[in-house]
Amino acid sequence: MKKQDLHTVYHKIKAYAALKHGEQKMPTILPYVMHLSNVAMEVILAHQQEHNFNLKEALQLVLLNYTLEDTDTSFEEIEHQFGIDIADGALALTKNQNLEKQKQMAYSLHRILIEKMK
Known catalytic residues? Answer: 69-70
Q: Which long-range contacts (CB under 8 A, 24 or more apart) does 88-97 make?
A: 88/115, 88/118, 89/57, 89/60, 89/61, 89/115, 90/60, 90/61, 90/64, 90/65, 91/65, 92/61, 92/65, 93/61, 93/62, 93/65, 94/65, 94/68, 94/69, 95/69, 97/69
Q: Cα 55 from chain centroid?
A: 12
